[in-house]
């Protein structure tokens, strides 16, 4: 197979685009797609101060590199879930990227507040790990933005993540979630930062290829707690459908975005109102109850520890050493 652009041997076959590309043309293709997505959906504008949520995986690290390469300077925030080896390895790789990019990385350590890792917290809360993790991430990522003056939170959710989540929402027609998912969610001044997903239309396979070709050192393993997640089942089914009908995932997600417009846009109430959004009386972040689940948990367990962020970088090119500011 030959590269559609230069005619040299192709290294990746993109069946959903009916094209094949060599390494170098794939990088350009991928960068252009993300750039177009950012512009078309107004994800990041001139003068914005974005921060990328990095996990150490292919998606968020590819995105962090790519944005800085496109001239969109952005720092990173990492949440250390206290998962042995996995969390430390992830942070090591993130620090390497921060060094290459000469950007700052903030680290929030879950143990610094809860005195245990995500598994311990989940057990105490009698929740699944993924549910407890989501609770912590939503709070901390909003907090870093509001505390440190970043106005756009950029996450690495890819097409596969979005298609799987949408699949679950549509399977049970979850009104509370179904029409609330979007490629960008607008800020609520003083309460919530704008959230954007520039990889919304890029597959997992594409972001992995981008990381590999770009020599980005990322964590290959999935989070050990995600194995039982239903999203893994949904991803498997969507991959089977994609295999027999290339482009299915993209059509599923793009079709949803179009339908979302038809029904009134993300966050609009379709039909009867289910839950009213209020703000947590403690932190002021959006909440369906008087106190948000994060503040409620701290109170319930009598936790007095403050949320604080460790900062690494920006790194100097010469020394290659981290400078804690």
Closest contact distance (angstroms) between CB of 123 and a copy of itself is: 23
Q: Which of residues 80-119 bind a copy of itself (CB under 8 A)?
A: none
Q: Find, among 65, 71, 80, 97, the residue nearest to 207 by Cα.
A: 65
Closest contact distance (angstroms) between CB of 61 and a copy of itself is: 31
x/- site string to a copy of itself, residues 202 to 241, per CB under 8 A? Answer: -------------------------------x---x--xx
Q: How far is CA 207 from CA 13, 74, 133, 199, 201, in A?
A: 14, 19, 23, 8, 11
Classified as helix, coil or strand, 282 is coil
Determine the Cα–Cα distance for residues 136 and 134; give it in Å rounded to an integer.
6
> Judged by CB under 8 A, does residue 266 bind a copy of itself?
no
> Judged by CB under 8 A, does residue 271 bind a copy of itself?
yes
Among 46, 220, 244, 276, binds a copy of itself (CB under 8 A): 244
Determine the Cα–Cα distance for residues 241 and 14; give it in Å rounded to an integer.
15
Closest contact distance (angstroms) between CB of 70 and a copy of itself is: 30
Among 251, 309, 311, 314, binds a copy of itself (CB under 8 A): 251
Strands of the chain (E only): list them.
Answer: 12-14, 19-21, 50-53, 75-80, 105-109, 152-154, 184-185, 194-196, 278-279, 286-287, 310-312
Closest contact distance (angstroms) between CB of 181 and a copy of itself is: 13
> Judged by CB under 8 A, does residue 131 bind a copy of itself?
no
Among 45, 171, 232, 323, binds a copy of itself (CB under 8 A): 171
> Judged by CB under 8 A, does residue 323 bind a copy of itself?
no
Determine the Cα–Cα distance for residues 295 and 289; give it in Å rounded to an integer.
11
Closest contact distance (angstroms) between CB of 286 and a copy of itself is: 23
> Judged by CB under 8 A, does residue 172 bind a copy of itself?
yes
> Judged by CB under 8 A, does residue 263 bind a copy of itself?
yes
Determine the Cα–Cα distance for residues 144 and 150; give it in Å rounded to an integer.
7
Closest contact distance (angstroms) between CB of 4 and a copy of itself is: 26
> How far is C-alpha 90 from the geometric centre of its chain's CA atoms?
15
DSSP string, 32-72: HHHHHHHHHTT-S-TT--EEEE--SSHHHHHHHHHHHHTT-
Among 258, 276, 302, 321, binds a copy of itself (CB under 8 A): 258
> Judged by CB under 8 A, does residue 255 bind a copy of itself?
yes
By C-beta, is 142 or 169 nearer to a copy of itself?
169
Closest contact distance (angstroms) between CB of 178 and a copy of itself is: 8
Closest contact distance (angstroms) between CB of 277 and a copy of itself is: 18
Strands 105-109 and 278-279, bridge-based pairing: unpaired
> How far is C-alpha 80 from the geometric centre of its chain's CA atoms?
15
Contacts to a copy of itself by CB under 8 A: 170-175, 178, 233, 237, 240-241, 244, 248, 251-252, 255-256, 258-259, 261-263, 270-272
């Amino acid at each position: 197979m030959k590269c559609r652009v230069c005619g040299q041997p192709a290294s990746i076959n993109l069946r959903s685009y009916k094209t094949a590309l060599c390494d170098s043309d794939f990088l350009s293709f991928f960068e252009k797609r993300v750039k177009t997505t950012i512009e078309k959906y107004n994800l990041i504008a001139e003068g914005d101060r974005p921060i990328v949520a990095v996990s150490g995986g292919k998606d968020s690290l590819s995105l962090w590199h790519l944005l800085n390469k496109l001239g969109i300077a952005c720092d990173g925030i990492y949440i250390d879930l206290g998962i042995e080896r996995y969390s430390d390895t992830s942070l090591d790789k993130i620090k390497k990227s921060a060094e290459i990019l000469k950007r700052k990385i903030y680290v929030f350590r879950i143990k610094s507040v809860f005195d245990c890792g995500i598994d311990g917290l989940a057990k105490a809360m009698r929740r699944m790990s993924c549910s407890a993790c989501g609770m912590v991430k939503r709070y901390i990522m909003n907090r870093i933005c509001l505390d440190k003056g970043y106005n756009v939170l950029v996450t690495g959710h890819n097409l596969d993540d979005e298609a799987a989540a949408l699949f679950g929402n549509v399977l049970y027609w979850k009104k509370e979630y179904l029409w609330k998912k979007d490629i960008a969610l607008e800020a609520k001044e003083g309460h919530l930062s704008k959230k954007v997903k520039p990889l919304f239309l890029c597959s997992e396979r594409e972001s992995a290829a981008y990381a590999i070709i770009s020599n980005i050192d990322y964590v290959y393993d999935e989070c050990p707690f995600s194995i039982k997640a239903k999203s893994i089942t949904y991803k498997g089914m969507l991959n089977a459908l994609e295999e027999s009908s290339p482009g299915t995932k993209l059509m599923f997600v793009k079709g949803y975005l179009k339908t979302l417009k038809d029904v009134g846009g993300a966050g609009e109430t379709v039909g009867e109102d289910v839950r009213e959004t209020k703000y947590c009386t403690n932190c002021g972040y959006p909440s369906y109850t008087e106190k948000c689940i994060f503040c409620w948990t701290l109170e319930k367990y009598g936790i007095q520890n403050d949320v604080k962020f460790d900062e690494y970088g920006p790194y100097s090119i010469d020394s290659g050493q981290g400078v804690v500011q």
